[in-house]
Amino acid sequence: MHSPSRRRVLQVITVSASAAALMPSRLVLAAMASDAIAISRTAFPQSVASGDPRPDRVLLWTRITDDPAPSRVRVQVADDPAFTALRVDRDVAVYGDSDGCVKVHITGLQPGTGYHFRFLLDDGDQFVASPTGRTRTAAAADADVPVRFAFMSCQDFGGRWYNTLLPLLEQELDFVLHLGDFIYETVGAPGFQSVSAERSITFDDRAGAIALGDADSDYFAARSLSNYRQLHRSFRSDPVLQALLERVPLVAIWDDHEFSDDCWQDNGTYADGAHSERDGERRRNAEQAYFEYLPVDVDSGGDDGLPVARDRLFPKTKIWRDLRFGRNLHLLLTDYRSARPDHLIPEDAFPGALIFDRAALHQRLPELGLRYTELEPSLIPYLDLDTPAFAPLRAPLRAVLEQAYLAAGQSGEDAARRADAAAKGQIALPALNQFLAAYNANAPTSQQVALPPADADYERGLPWLALGKTRLFDAIGSRYFVVKDSYDLYVALRGLDGIGSAYGSEQAAWLSKTLSASDANWKVVASSVSFTSLVLDLARPELEAPAAMRRQFYLNVDQWDGFPQERQHLINKVFDPAGGVIVLSGDIHAGFVTQHSAHTVEFTTPAVSSETLKGILARSVGGNPDAPSRRTGEHMVAQLDELLMHGYDALRYANTDHHGVGVLALDGVQVDVRLLELPGDACQQRLYDAPRQLRALSEERRFSVARASMQIKRVS
């Protein structure tokens, strides 16, 4: 039952947000109505949030779990926390197919102004209210006002706590910028995740999830809409995250884990190329839940964004957009995942296959100003299995390859197909000899084959093996730990014919046009992944690397190292000419500060709570059964910050074993950035009620950039 009398009172005081003044009688009625209001976090279990503030409007959000489910909820916006000076008081729809989520556009607001808001349900005896939220509109485009905001990314939930967010509750911020990985689609992934009794997620719809891992490591990834909704509900149950979003509007973009680790378009990468992981429905499920739960103001549904319209989702989704905060800040929000092509090195590339043979290199290298004879000593010898001299090797090679593909989980048909393709034509000599040696090890002496001589005068080319690809299906040598000099050559050669844009042509054109037209003093480009190059020189003597590992490696080409030519074009031709460009990024679970050029700088925030980069590498190294390689890996992990600083001259600061968030404050002449950091193990314990312990663990790094010089200065 509903109370007609109170409903009439609330209807009487409904006003437009653009009203110039409020009648005193309305103020009295609002105060009377508030006497019968009780806050319920049970009815509103994810509390409230606001997002994408503009000078005249903001988007409000909540989620309702009242039983029976209501069809309407009341939203109130006021100038004061007591809700006596109401600006908005109206009923809005609760759609049954949006998991109880409600999104409301509030327009007609004043620029640069703080407001209070809440949602109300009438349970028949009293009004049940959500927790009260605070939001703030952006300053008018011509207002010369300072701006202060936090930026963050990577907030895993399982076994981890959001202690890094606690200092933000004590600060006055205009908004919070989330750079992606707001949720993680996997639960209990052994490479980087953990669980605990208090912080774990078990999918209710396990049948709708993707089973991953093996007998010793069984875990799941979200696939169904129910899975993704449950993740959002769980992550948003955290009281500190709720408190932050109750205090300040959110501006968010996504990265990969909102859908699938290291994804591109609607493709996952769990199988490392062993089978296709293209799944448009899964992608749309992830996007629908994201738009239901995040207060992002994009065209995904009706007038208020709900219910989400499936036909507006992938591949039609556009989350790239821009927000203006006075004369001093123009914020450009980008999308690295939705349009980008596949990683340049296929995860299923056969290591011995030739990318460019001698003839192709002779033809293409001059276009890069290079000569084959200069590079020949660094290239890999290969031979042609189709020639009469080596044709007898095809049958044993095919046999061992078929067994190898079967052992890697391929079906009989697929193993035969892949073995047929690999056991013919050109093949790198080291790969051929490795597989033939494996064949001989299991064949009777009478059936063993002689390996081709190693010292013959073979032609040389560029196989996948040269880039670090040593296994049939693997992220190593394709997305991670890629040999730098070979990869640089490969990318340059591929670039002669075009390798596609990480942003896609439409977004890239928008970014360039918007930056060039902006008259803001500072242009902040929000990128979910870092532009900073991560190079590890394993040839340094103190690492004691085996001979085969004494090379420079790119640590991660899933980020912008995977698109080096486009990155350089953006910095030199788009960012630098615009002036005052600061890139903010995340994803890599480490803090970096980078002077990319005389005019463009970047701040990469550590992870809110996710396993640190150093921690992830330590796990990987610890599982290496090869003792010499493991020892080198341990040295590498211990010296990781120094190695990265050595590997990329533009780096000014690196910290790979801390969690943290960033706070950026700017005015017309200077930007100040603080990285608020906690040690790598500090997020494995709950410090929500331990302020002294939190302060004792906290560290702060301060940097400044003057508009006149655009040079990073380390303050502390």
Within 10 Å of residue 611's Cβ, how many Cβ atoms? 25
Going by C-alpha positions, the residue among 529, 509, 547, 576 that lies closest to residue 710 is: 576
Supply the pLDDT for residue 218: 77
pLDDT higher than threshold 70 for residue 30: no
Question: What's 542's DSSP letter?
Answer: G
Q: Report the 10 Å Cβ neighbour count for 276.
A: 9
**DSSP type of residue 226:** H
* Mean per-residue pLDDT of the chain: 93
Would you place residue 31 in the very low, low, confident or very high pLDDT band (cuts 50, 70, 90)? very low
Residue 466 near residue 380, CB atoms below 8 Å: yes
Assess whether pLDDT exceeds 90 at residue 455: no
Q: What is the greatest pairwise CA distance in the chain?
A: 104
pLDDT for the residue 434: 96
What confidence tens digit (pLDDT) does each residue in 40-67 have?
999 999 999 999 999 999 999 999 998 8
Q: Taking a C-beta distance cutoff of 8 angstroms, is the pair 527, 585 a contact?
A: yes
- Distances, alpha carbon 587 to alpha carbons 142, 442, 485, in Å: 34, 45, 25
8 A C-beta contact, residue 600 and residue 194: no
How many whole angstroms separate alpha carbon 667 and alpha carbon 683?
33
351 contacts 469 by C-beta, under 8 angstroms: yes
337: alpha, beta or left? (left if phi > 0; alpha if psi -120 to 50): alpha
3-state SS class at 309: coil
pLDDT of residue 33: 52
- The string of pLDDT tens digits covering residues 315-368 is 999 999 999 999 999 999 999 999 999 999 999 999 999 999 999 999 999 999
The residue length of the chain stands at 716
Q: What is the mean pLDDT of residues 507-519?
A: 98
- Does residue 24 surpass a pLDDT of 80? no
| pLDDT at residue 507 tops 80 | yes
> In the Cβ-directed half-sphere of 709, how many Cα atoms lie within 13 Å?
8
d(CA 532, CA 229): 33
Helix/strand/coil for 552: strand
- Residue 473: what pLDDT? 98
Closest listed residue to residue 518, CA positions, set 573, 579, 570: 579
**Residue 35, pLDDT score:** 62
Which strands sit side by side in the sheet containing 480-483, from one edge to the other? 480-483, 552-556, 535-537
Mean pLDDT calculated for residue range 663-691: 97
For residue 650, which of 540, 566, 533, 561 has the smallest C-alpha distance? 533
Average confidence (pLDDT) over 91-103: 94
The confidence score (pLDDT) of residue 13 equals 30
For Cα atoms 664, 668, 670, give the angle at the middle one, nearest 5 degrees: 50
* Euclidean distance between CA atoms 28 and 31, whole angstroms: 5
CB 503 within 8 A of CB 515: no
Say how far apart CA 124 and CA 121 lie, in whole Å. 9
Count CB neighbours of 200 within 10 A: 15
At 28, the pLDDT band (50, 70, 90 cuts) reads: very low
How many whole angstroms from its chain centre is CA 671?
25
> Which residue matches tokens 């035969």?
416
The reported pLDDT for the residue numbered 662 is 98
Q: Domains for the chain: give ranges and CATH numbers.
A: 4-136 (2.60.40.380), 147-341+500-714 (3.60.21.70), 354-476 (no CATH)
Q: Is the pLDDT of residue 8 over 60?
A: no
Instruction: With CA atoms as reference, report the closest residue to 447 among 402, 484, 396.
Output: 396
Nearest-angstrom CA–CA distance, 262 and 254: 12
Distance CA 463, CA 240 (A): 51
User: With 80 as the cut, is the pLDDT of residue 211 above it?
Assistant: yes
b/e per residue 37-58 (b: at least 16 CB within 10 A): beebeebbbbbbbbbbbbbbbb
The pLDDT assigned to 305 comes to 82
Cα distance between residue 596 and residue 570, in whole Å: 11
Two tokens at 511? 């970014």
Q: What's the pLDDT at 626? A: 87
The β-bridge relationship of strands 37-39 and 127-129 is: parallel
Residue 612 is predicted with a pLDDT of 97
- Token look-up 């709900």 returns 306
The string of pLDDT tens digits covering residues 544-590 is: 999 989 999 999 999 999 999 999 999 999 999 999 999 999 999 99
Would the pLDDT of 3 be above 60?
no
Nearest of 569, 425, 428 to residue 486 by alpha carbon: 428
Cα angle 78, 327, 175; round to 5: 45
The Cα 251–Cα 49 span in angstroms is 11
Rounded Cα distance between 3 and 84, Å, is 21
pLDDT in tens, 134-180: 999 999 999 999 999 999 999 999 999 999 999 999 999 999 999 99
CA distance 96 to 600: 47
Does pLDDT of 405 surpass 70?
yes
pLDDT (tens digit per residue) in 64-86: 998 888 999 999 999 999 999 99
pLDDT at 29 (0 to 100): 43
Q: Tell me how far apart the alpha carbons of residues 654 and 225 are, in angstroms, rounded to a whole number.
A: 38
pTM (2 d.p.):
0.94
What residues does 329 pair with on adjacent strands? 325, 522
Distance CA 586, CA 345 (A): 23
- Residue whose token pair is 């109401």: 86
Amino acid identity for residue 663 in this structure: V
Percentage of the residues of the chain whose pLDDT score is greater than 70: 94
* DSSP E strands, 379-447: 380-384, 426-428
Sheet holding 321-325, edge to edge: 321-325, 329-333, 522-526, 581-585, 600-604, 591-595, 651-655
**SS3 of residue 314 by DSSP:** coil
- The distance in angstroms from the start CA to the end CA of the chain is 61
Contact at 8 Å (CB) between 382 and 429?
yes
Strand spans (E) along 550-606: 552-556, 581-585, 591-595, 600-604
Report CA 572 to chain centroid distance, whole Å. Answer: 24
Alpha carbon 57 to its chain centroid, in Å, reads 28
* Burial of 142 per CB tally in 10 Å (0-12, 13-18, 19+): exposed
Residue corresponding to tokens 């995860």:
347
Look at the alpha carbons of 405, 409, 414, 416 in this order and tell me if their dihedral is positive or negative: positive
- Identify the pLDDT of residue 23: 37
Of 429, 431, 430, 450, nearest in space to 440 by CA: 450
Q: Which amino acid is at 180?
A: G
Coil, helix or strand for 663? strand
Bridge partners (DSSP) of residue 655 are 591
Is the per-residue pLDDT at 124 higher than 80? Answer: no
In the chain, % of residues over pLDDT 90 = 89
Q: How far is CA 44 from the centre of its chain?
A: 28
> At what angle are helices 627-638 and 613-622 packed, to 10 degrees?
170
**Residue whose structure tokens are 């990480």:** 502
* Backbone torsions φ then ψ of 311, nearest 5 degrees: -75, 0
Q: Which pLDDT belongs to residue 34? A: 55
Beta-carbon neighbour count of residue 217 at 10 Å?
A: 11
Check residue 191 and give its pLDDT.
Answer: 85
* Per-residue pLDDT tens digits for 382-392: 999 999 999 99
Burial of residue 166 (CB within 10 Å: 0-12, 13-18, 19+) is: buried
Distance CA 529, CA 613 (A): 14
pLDDT, mean of residues 623-647 = 94
- Mean pLDDT of all residues in 612-618: 96
